[in-house]
Structures are given as C-alpha cells and as structure tokens.
Amino acid sequence: MLVDISLPGKSGLELIKDIHAVYPDIAIFVLSMHEESLYAERVLRAGARGYLMKSEGGEKLIAALQKVMAGGISVSDQVANRILQGVSGKRKALSISPIEALSDREFEVFQLIGKGYGSRQIAEQLSLSVKTVEAYRASIKQKLYLKSGPQLVHYAISWQQSQTSGVDSNTLPTKS
C-alpha cells in the first residue's frame, strides 16, 4: 500500500497505525514531500516498511518498492545510519531538530497548532478532550524550551510554513 503523510481529515501516520493493527502483513510504503528526518522513523514505528521523499525520483522509487515487496525495509542511507546510531547510543549528538523529541501525538498536535488550529479544534480533530490537548501543548513547550503559548504558536506556524517553502526553521530557544 502506498501512503502519503498529508491526508485530508486524518494523519497519514495514524492511518498507517490503524492499517498495521488490522492488517499487519500488508507492506506499507510512504512516499511523501515531507522531510524524512522527522517522518521516516515515525512511519517505521507505526508499521510502514519504507519511506522515500517524492523528490528522489522514479528509479529510487522502483528500487525501494521492490525491496519492500520482497519483505525488506527501505529508507535512505542517512535514515538507516541515524537509526543505527540510535541503537548504539550515539543518537543524541546527531539529532537534527528538537522537534524529533516530540512523541507522535505531540508532533501531530504541534502540526495542527502550526496550521492555525486552536485547542478546541485540535481536540475535535483528534477526538481528544481540550484538557488533554492542553497537556500536550504544555509538554511540547517544555520539550522545545518555549516559555509561552504565543511563542509555541509562533514557532509552530513558522515550522509549518518552512515545510512547504524549504526554509530552515529549526532554531529554537536554548535550555536555560
């Protein structure tokens, strides 16, 4: 099954988790425009067997799909290296973005904040209580070393915009 991360109405990550839970033997492959450093490991943990950015082109896509269909896992060399570094305990120094520290659900809430959704809208979208969304927002602020709600909203919107424009938005306040 070929899936994208950006889907109307539901997160591609949640879709992968749902499909994998019901049909664990289906080979799920993600082809997306989104930066692999933030998504590849998440989709693998969710149950996908491969991830490729759309910009990689047809030959890499065919090779990756063949590998997944043969029962393997296909990610870029960079992602494979990062996963192995994580297993060896050396991952901390290699982390590219502080956003990687967010759990899948926190990341999903962060993305919706970046799209301009308020806590009530996020709660409805994700079938959560507003109180739960507020708890996620507090956790996100802590993990990203942000001091206020408006600072979180500003950073999330800047990050969301960078995902479509290619601008680096990984500069965050440092832990003090």
Residue 91: per-residue pLDDT:
55
pLDDT of residue 39: 84
Q: Residue 166: what pLDDT? A: 52
- The pLDDT value recorded for residue 165 is 61
The domain made up of 2-94 is a member of CATH 3.40.1050.10: no
Q: What does pTM read for this prediction?
A: 0.63
For the chain, domain boundaries? 2-94, 98-165
Q: Please name every residue paired with 53 in a beta bridge, in sequence order, or none if there are none.
A: 32
Distance CA 52, CA 76 (A): 7
Q: Low-confidence residues of the chain, pLDDT below 50?
A: 93-94, 167-171, 174-176
Residue 42, SS3? helix
CATH topology of domain 98-165: Arc Repressor Mutant, subunit A (1.10.10)
